[in-house]
Amino acid sequence: MAENKPKLEPVLFDKSVKAIDPESVRKVKLPSGVMMPIAAFGTFHSDWAQEYMKDATLEAIRLGWRHIDTARAYENEDVVGEAIKEAIGAGYISSADDLFITGKLWNGHMAKKDVVPALDNTLKALGVDKIDMYLNHWPWPNVHVPGASGDYRNPNAVPYIHEDFMETWGEIVNQKKAGKIVDVGISNHTKVTLDLLLADVDDFSRPVVNQMEMHPLFQQTELRRYMYERGIVCTGYMSLGSPQRPGRDTFKEHRADMFDPRILAIAKEAGVTPARVCLSWAAQRENKTGGYVAMATRSDWIQENLKSATEDILTPEQMLRISGDDTDANPGIDANNRLIWGQVFLWPEALGDWRVLWNDSQVFKTRDGYMKFKESFQRHYKVWQETAVSVPR
Ligand SMILES: NC(=O)c1ccc[n+]([C@@H]2O[C@H](COP(=O)([O-])OP(=O)(O)OC[C@H]3O[C@@H](n4cnc5c(N)ncnc54)[C@H](OP(=O)(O)O)[C@@H]3O)[C@@H](O)[C@H]2O)c1
């Protein structure tokens, strides 16, 4: 988006920045036995950095990142695939097997018939014959046009309908059975939608990761603890507060994690940057059971962002200052500062209120259940329009 676009300085890839030993990066053991590096290099282009993504990914691999977070929706799997090929050519890795690659099924491909072609396209573009982690990107099949502005609405958007989701999920699990996926997970699920899913899966088809927005000013503690108790690994995204996110996801209410005075104070005490504090908090919280996704297009930042996965720099007291302990004496700094409101995914019955996407007030078990709700809603809405002085739209 134009308002976010920084000056196009030459990107600062600097070969004198030293690589981190990938062995020193903390990993979590997934139920499959695979060790997943807790730090994932993000490849979402924030609408402006697309042209740098191949070089940034190559540089990330050179500097020791072994977990790459990709998605069909980022429209750059082929570019990431090229970076992987070049990394092999340059001797940074011996094959793609040295990497842990996360991919995501896009909303527009959630119909049962579309899952296999979507996955096959992803594998082909990345140049691999199986993917380490395949996430369902969003809980509903709602799509927006690429680069959509914040007021874009798709009239065909629907809320979470568990019956439909399970059809998609069944197809994803079939691809795990077929050997094209090693581990399965979800992204942007809430506690209620995760609960419905967990009630309907066996050990083989259980999601092992939920990738969700998480940073010091938006901690999602209840959901994070829920996942911790059930052994579901959290990879937090926008861990730095996503300073260059697209205009459609930027609102005047938002606050910047890296400029928060409490984060700045801890950074000063620890002798590190605010970015490092944000990432270390993600890596250390809930007994070090999760990790983070972070993107950067400069060698020094790419290197720095991996360090939080190699060394715990925050003391328990500093962790407490950020996370709090549910008491008035130690409230922590969470400000419920959600950056991705997801308003472009809103369905008609949400009446434009983005909170409905996240507060689980419109979640349906069956298609019939949703249709009944929709009919009743339309009847009541008509009466509302006919009688009330003002009606939200
Ligand atoms: N599952 C989902 O729905 C979902 C949603 C959003 C994002 N994601 C994933 O999460 C990744 C990260 O999200 P994001 O890129 O929006 O947010 P982010 O990682 O919080 O922020 C990235 C931005 O921070 C800047 N930055 C990076 N390292 C820095 C440092 N050490 N000091 C200061 N600034 C630094 C980068 O600047 P430069 O670019 O100038 O280097 C970049 O613009 C994405 O790339 C994507 O893979 C997933």
In this structure, is residue 210 part of a structural domain? yes
In this structure, is residue 358 part of a structural domain? yes
Tell me if 257 sits within 8 A of 237, measured CB to CB.
Answer: no
pLDDT at 145: 78
C-alpha 202 to ligand 1 mean position (Å): 34
Q: Is the CB of 343 under 6 A from ligand 1?
A: no
In this structure, is residue 160 part of a structural domain? yes
Token pair recorded at residue 82: 């090229």
pLDDT at 47: 67
pLDDT at 309: 98
C-alpha 325 to ligand 1 mean position (Å): 28
C-alpha 226 to ligand 1 mean position (Å): 25
Roughly what angle, to the nearest 10 degrees, separates helices 299-307 and 53-62? 50
Residue with tokens 């259980």: 206
Best of 237, 263, 292, 307 for a ligand 1 pocket test (most atoms within 8 Å of beta carbon): 237
Tell me if 161 sits within 8 A of 366, measured CB to CB.
Answer: yes
Q: Is 42 helix (H, G, I), strand (E, B) or coil?
A: strand
pLDDT at 5: 45
pLDDT at 2: 38
- How many Cβ atoms sit within 10 Å of the Cβ of residue 293? 25
SS3 content of the chain, % helix, strand, coil (to 5): 45, 15, 45
C-alpha 65 to ligand 1 mean position (Å): 15
In this structure, is residue 275 part of a structural domain? yes
| φ and ψ at residue 366, rounded to 5 degrees | -125, 160
Token pair recorded at residue 45: 């282009």
Nearest CA to ligand 1 atom 36: 296
Give the burial class of 387: count Cβ atoms within 10 A of its Cβ; 0-12 exposed, 13-18 middle, 19 or more buried.
exposed
CATH number at 245 reads 3.20.20.100
Q: Is the CB of 298 under 6 A from ligand 1?
A: yes
Q: Which of 74, 92, 134, 226 is catalytic?
A: 74
273-294 pLDDT, tens digit per residue, is: 999 999 999 999 999 999 999 9
Q: Is the CB of 169 under 6 A from ligand 1?
A: no
Domains of the chain: total: 1
Q: Is the CB of 42 under 6 A from ligand 1?
A: yes
Tell me if 299 sits within 8 A of 57, measured CB to CB.
Answer: no
**What is the amino acid identity at position 17?**
V
Domain that includes residue 348, residue range: 2-367
Nearest CA to ligand 1 atom 13: 238
Nearest to 266 by CA among 284, 283, 280: 280
In this structure, is residue 93 part of a structural domain? yes
In this structure, is residue 372 part of a structural domain? no
Nearest CA to ligand 1 atom 11: 42
Cα–Cα dist 86/92, whole Å: 9
C-alpha 216 to ligand 1 mean position (Å): 14
pLDDT at 3: 43
4-60 pLDDT, tens digit per residue, is: 444 445 467 899 999 999 999 999 999 889 999 999 999 998 767 788 899 999 999
Cα–Cα dist 273/253, whole Å: 24
Q: Is the CB of 52 under 6 A from ligand 1?
A: no
Q: Is the CB of 210 under 6 A from ligand 1?
A: no
In this structure, is residue 321 part of a structural domain? yes
Token pair recorded at residue 250: 């930027």
pLDDT at 31: 86
Q: Is 92 a catalytic residue?
A: no
Q: Which residues of the chain have pLDDT under 50?
A: 1-8, 10
pLDDT at 9: 54
pLDDT at 393: 64
In this structure, is residue 378 part of a structural domain? no
Q: Is the CB of 237 under 6 A from ligand 1?
A: yes
The total number of residues written for the chain in this structure: 393
Q: Is the CB of 80 under 6 A from ligand 1?
A: no
pLDDT at 11: 60
